[in-house]
Amino acid sequence: MQHFFKFEPRLKRVLWGGTKILGLKGIECPFSDVGESWEISGLKNTESVIANGGLAGKNINELVEILGDKIVGKHNIQAHGSQFPLLIKLIDASKQLSIQVHPDDVQAMMRHGESGKDEMWYIIDSEPQATIISGLSRATSKEEFEKLMATDRLTSILAEHKSHTGDVFFLPARRIHSIGAGNLVLEVQQPCDITYRVYDFNRTDANGNKRPLQTQLAAETINFSDVVNGCDKMVTDGDALLVESPKFSVERIEVKGERFIAMPQDSFLALTCINGSVELSADDGKEAITLRQGESALVAACTGKISAAGNCVLITAYT
């Protein structure tokens, strides 16, 4: 059985995008506004398509349908069926993203019939003045929020943090947030694309139109007691657990020479190489792939252990 799966690239052009994802991946593109690369996606209608092996051309949810718990583990089949339970992205914010918030599972199911969105960010690179907005600088209320929105003063209560390479931000659903200009980010999230845009700095498009806001839904979603004092942690060296939550866990793994990488119990392992390159092998070396900077791969849950050789930094995710 195949253990390693790579996927066709899925680049997204957005008004705040840039060229850092292209530089990280070492690829050329005629566009200078690539804001996202959806590395591994189980989101409906945007599923990642397999690029290697006998199942090339199938999407990731079809892979789960075919091989079941051998790919994702028994508990993921029980909880999510054939939907792959994560979405992993690279994000290049050459301009400030809008202020936004995502619903939790209960709200999203009630309003949209799908799961909510917890997410985390690992800062791969940040420019000197780059910041992250995560949470509130002080507790507030729905009534005050609405007054601040009406007088264009919302940013006065947002917690803005200087960002650095290696910073980790965990963003549970209902936390107001934004990625500031100058950040290159790896994002791990639930497979949900529901976003309530709260504020967009009064920006307009080429035709003078403002992007639509979902202020009322946001007011009914934001956790108004969610005060945040900084990033959750900073990790720039060695192996470390970055996030451990009910929805997913994320680790940083460093390869210097040869080593083994442990598989999580009863789960897949999603890998993104953010620096260097590595050769991964499984099944006593009978199957191997090379993962280069900016590339991602999925390792099947039934894999016993992974041998790694090279010099790289990997961000891994599992559920």
Query: What's the CATH code of the domain at 272?
Result: 2.60.120.10
Same domain for 281 and 178, yes or no, is no
Name the nearest CA neighbour of 115 among 225, 228, 248. 248
Residue ending a domain, choose from 234, 265, 285: 234
Same domain for 286 and 177, yes or no, is no
Same domain for 113 and 252, yes or no, is no
- What's the total number of domains in the chain? 2
pTM over 0.85: yes
Residue ending a domain, choose from 180, 208, 234: 234
Angle 22-24-26 from CA coordinates, rounded to 5°: 65
- Helix, strand, coil shares, percent, the chain, to 5: 15, 40, 45
Same domain for 122 and 267, yes or no, is no
Same domain for 156 and 266, yes or no, is no
Measured between alpha carbons, how far is 93 from 164 in angstroms, rounded to an integer?
14
pLDDT of residue 273: 98
Same domain for 113 and 13, yes or no, is yes
Same domain for 206 and 250, yes or no, is no
pLDDT of residue 285: 77
Same domain for 149 and 271, yes or no, is no
Same domain for 258 and 153, yes or no, is no
Beta carbons within 8 Å of 38's beta carbon, 6+ residues apart: 10, 12, 46, 48, 87, 88, 89
Give the residues across from 92 on adjacent strands.
184
pLDDT tens across the length of the chain (319 residues): 899 999 999 999 998 999 999 999 999 989 899 999 999 999 988 999 999 999 999 999 999 999 999 999 999 999 999 999 999 999 999 999 999 999 999 999 999 999 999 999 999 999 999 999 999 999 999 999 999 999 999 999 999 999 999 999 999 999 999 999 999 999 999 999 999 999 999 887 778 888 899 999 999 999 999 999 999 999 999 999 999 999 999 999 999 999 999 999 999 999 999 999 999 999 777 899 999 999 999 999 999 889 999 999 999 999 9
Same domain for 282 and 172, yes or no, is no
Same domain for 192 and 163, yes or no, is yes
C-alpha pair distances (Å), 259 with each of 253, 265, 280: 11, 19, 10
Host domain of residue 142? 4-234
Name the nearest CA neighbour of 3 among 261, 241, 181. 261
Residue ending a domain, choose from 218, 234, 250: 234
Same domain for 253 and 220, yes or no, is no
